[in-house]
Chains A and B, each alone.
Chain A
Amino acid sequence: MSDALLSIHVRRKTFGETLVLKDVKLQLQPGEVVSLLGPSGCGKSTLLRIAAGLDRDYSGELSSAGESVAFVFQEPRLMPWLSVARNIGFHDDGHYDQAWVRQLIEEVGLSGFAEALPKALSGGMAQRVAIARGLYSRPKVLLLDEPFSAVDAFTRMKLQDLLLDLARRHDIALLLVTHDVDEALYLSDRVLVMGHRASGIGGGIDVDLVQPRDRRDPVLAELRIQALTQLKSAHVV
């Protein structure tokens, strides 16, 4: 498909002698939410870093919307010396778009914290700032590397809803790396299951449920079994 926002084909990616990714293809359509689900070390984060352009040492092709791709890391990675507002507008140094930053602060639910320093924030709040920083450049694609793995279960659910809400509001496609089956199914239109090292993308699961979803939906429970079966056949669990 030519209208894909992001199209990756990694023929080979190695770390030294170790082959990490082999013949992996991935496309992201506008407005789509795709999860990469797999165990640690399966190369899913590497794939994401390639998609972000952070890792250029591979053979294959990447075509992306360039400037309009943003990245949210596993940790908030805020600059500890900058206020929340300045962290969000970090891309534009001191002369950031203040109105836009104010709106983003509002949207991620941090009103009143614009001038707070990162050390005053909880883990969940810091990750909200990181998401707002990702949205600042008005991306078409947001890449997220296990963005909620460091927060507690309840905060995680809230942040998941926030993320979906923001993606819909700003018409952003999401590519998300996770090792949480429930998270992948709850968020995504497509879940791609990755097996162990270099075994590539095995199966995929299409989640044909409208958003917003109900976490208690029995269809999700069924898909969960399907996902676990795929993970099992990939010798992950």
Chain B
Amino acid sequence: MSASENTLAKAAPAPRRASPAWRRGAKGWLLPCLIVIVLEIVVRVGWIPAYQMPAPSDVALTLVELAQGALGKHVLASVGRVLAGFVIGASLALVFAAWVGLSREAEAYLEPTFAGLRAIPSLAWVPLLLLWLGIDETSKVVLIAIGAFFPVYVNGVAAIRNIDRKLVEVGQMYGFSARRLTLRILLPAAMPGLFTGLRSGLSMAWMFLVAAELIAATKGLGYLLSDGRETSRPDIVLAAILALAVLGKLSDGVLAAVERRCVSWRDTFTGEATGNRS
């Protein structure tokens, strides 16, 4: 082999003139900080009445107050529901996605039904779930599971069907059994698409959590939202929204970190080559 080919390949990933991580992070904080400062000024000056839009500092105070009180209980209730619903919905979705993705026969039987169910706006299930399961935990978890199911299922099937046939052929050349083909080629190759599905499924789970808790709950962040509305406390509503944002971001961050570990082999566009850096 050529020495030149060697050196070329080694020289390629030379250290880039990338901006340090903290600078990139700082860029992301710029806009939110600006919004908070402007809001604070606008409210303090009196251009917006405080009973409609409380000053960010008031929201922060409310949040601190809640944190010392009942916030933990609400957060715990919501996180528990989202976790339970997401795990149930996503697991079922992965099973069905694998089944439909791997078998034409299963697709013929199942896909039309799923396509039909998918066409129903998931919130339309709420009255039925309340009738069947009552207003306790079960109906909420089931609703969240329904919300998480479809993004994971749709992306899962697409991920399997988008696998490069040429890679599958390598396994066929080796005479791999169906099981081995699935474990060695199909599953890893579908991984990026599966993660896309899981992440959008998780964000749907949070969305449906709020829907479920707005309708009937005695605790949880959705309850806090409706409680804030009923008692005319926009600061509580905003505090709950903030808590939801943080929790959503945190849970997505966990999934994103797992994704980075699992699919670091991907050779994809990172936005670095467009010249829009610095």
A binds B: yes
- Quick check: is A54 within 8 A (CB to CB) of the other chain? yes
- Quick check: is B231 within 8 A (CB to CB) of the other chain? no
Our pick among A75, A90, A122, A158 for the contact of B166 (Cβ within 8 Å) is A75
Whether B8 contacts A81 by the Cβ 8 Å rule is no
Contacts of A52 in B (CB 8 A): 173
Least Cβ–Cβ distance between A103 and chain B, in angstroms: 15
Whether B169 contacts A77 by the Cβ 8 Å rule is yes
Contacts of B172 in A (CB 8 A): 54
Most buried by B among A52, A75, A79: A79
Our pick among B185, B263, B267 for the contact of A79 (Cβ within 8 Å) is B185
Given contacts A73-B166, A77-B170, A81-B263, contact A120 B1 (CB under 8 A): no
Contacts of B265 in A (CB 8 A): 80-82, 117-119
Our pick among B8, B9, B13, B166 for the contact of A77 (Cβ within 8 Å) is B166
Given contacts A75-B166, A109-B1, A158-B1, contact A54 B9 (CB under 8 A): no
Least Cβ–Cβ distance between B33 and chain A, in angstroms: 37
Contacts of A118 in B (CB 8 A): 265, 267
- Quick check: is A217 within 8 A (CB to CB) of the other chain? no
Whether A90 contacts B170 by the Cβ 8 Å rule is yes
Whether B1 contacts A93 by the Cβ 8 Å rule is no
- Quick check: is B5 within 8 A (CB to CB) of the other chain? yes
Contacts of A34 in B (CB 8 A): none
Q: Which residue of A has the minimal Cβ distance to B187?
A: A81
Given contacts A54-B172, A81-B263, contact A122 B2 (CB under 8 A): no
Whether A80 contacts B267 by the Cβ 8 Å rule is yes
Contacts of A117 in B (CB 8 A): 265
Whether A128 contacts B1 by the Cβ 8 Å rule is yes
Provide the A145-158 mask, 1 if CB < 8 A to any CB of B, else 0. Answer: 00000000001001
Contacts of B13 in A (CB 8 A): 120
* A142 vs B265: C-alpha distance when bound (angstroms): 29
Least Cβ–Cβ distance between B186 and chain A, in angstroms: 11
* A122 vs B9: C-alpha distance when bound (angstroms): 7
Interface range on chain A (Cβ under 8 Å from partner): 20 to 34
Provide the A23-58 mask, 1 if CB < 8 A to any CB of B, else 0. Answer: 000000000000000000000000000001110000
Within 8 A of B (CB), among A177-230: none
Whether A93 contacts B184 by the Cβ 8 Å rule is yes
Given contacts A119-B265, A162-B1, contact A81 B169 (CB under 8 A): no
The number of A-B residue pairs with CB atoms under 8 Å apart is: 62
- Quick check: is A104 within 8 A (CB to CB) of the other chain? no
Whether B167 contacts A79 by the Cβ 8 Å rule is yes
- Quick check: is A65 within 8 A (CB to CB) of the other chain? no
Q: Which residue of A has the minimal Cβ distance to B267?
A: A119
Contacts of B188 in A (CB 8 A): 79, 81
Contacts of A125 in B (CB 8 A): 5, 9
- Quick check: is A108 within 8 A (CB to CB) of the other chain? yes
Contacts of B1 in A (CB 8 A): 108-110, 128, 158, 162
Given contacts A77-B169, A91-B174, contact A120 B185 (CB under 8 A): no
Q: Which residue of B has the minimal Cβ distance to A52?
A: B173
Contacts of B8 in A (CB 8 A): 122
Contacts of B180 in A (CB 8 A): 93
Least Cβ–Cβ distance between A141 and chain B, in angstroms: 13
- Quick check: is B16 within 8 A (CB to CB) of the other chain? no
- Quick check: is B191 within 8 A (CB to CB) of the other chain? yes
Whether A54 contacts B267 by the Cβ 8 Å rule is no
Q: Which residue of A has the minimal Cβ distance to B10?
A: A112
Provide the B156-170 mask, 1 if CB < 8 A to any CB of A, else 0. Answer: 000000000011011
- Quick check: is A60 within 8 A (CB to CB) of the other chain? no
Contacts of A90 in B (CB 8 A): 170, 174, 184
Least Cβ–Cβ distance between B34 and chain A, in angstroms: 38
Whether A77 contacts B5 by the Cβ 8 Å rule is no
- Quick check: is B23 within 8 A (CB to CB) of the other chain? no
- Quick check: is B266 within 8 A (CB to CB) of the other chain? yes
Q: Which residue of A has the minimal Cβ distance to B3?
A: A109
Show 20 residue pairs from A and B whose CB-CB distance is below 8 angstroms, ordered by the A residue.
A54-B172, A73-B166, A77-B170, A79-B167, A79-B170, A80-B265, A80-B267, A81-B191, A82-B265, A90-B170, A90-B174, A93-B180, A109-B1, A113-B9, A118-B267, A119-B265, A119-B267, A122-B5, A122-B9, A125-B9
B-contacting residues of A (Cβ < 8 Å)?
A: 52-54, 70-71, 73, 75, 77, 79-82, 90-91, 93, 108-110, 112-113, 117-122, 124-125, 128, 155, 158, 162
The 9 closest A-B CB pairs, nearest first, are A109-B1, A119-B267, A81-B265, A81-B188, A71-B173, A80-B265, A117-B265, A77-B170, A77-B166
In the complex, besides A77-B167, A113-B9, 12 extra interface pairs with C-beta distance below 8 angstroms are A52-B173, A73-B166, A79-B189, A81-B189, A81-B191, A81-B263, A93-B184, A108-B1, A112-B6, A120-B9, A125-B9, A162-B1
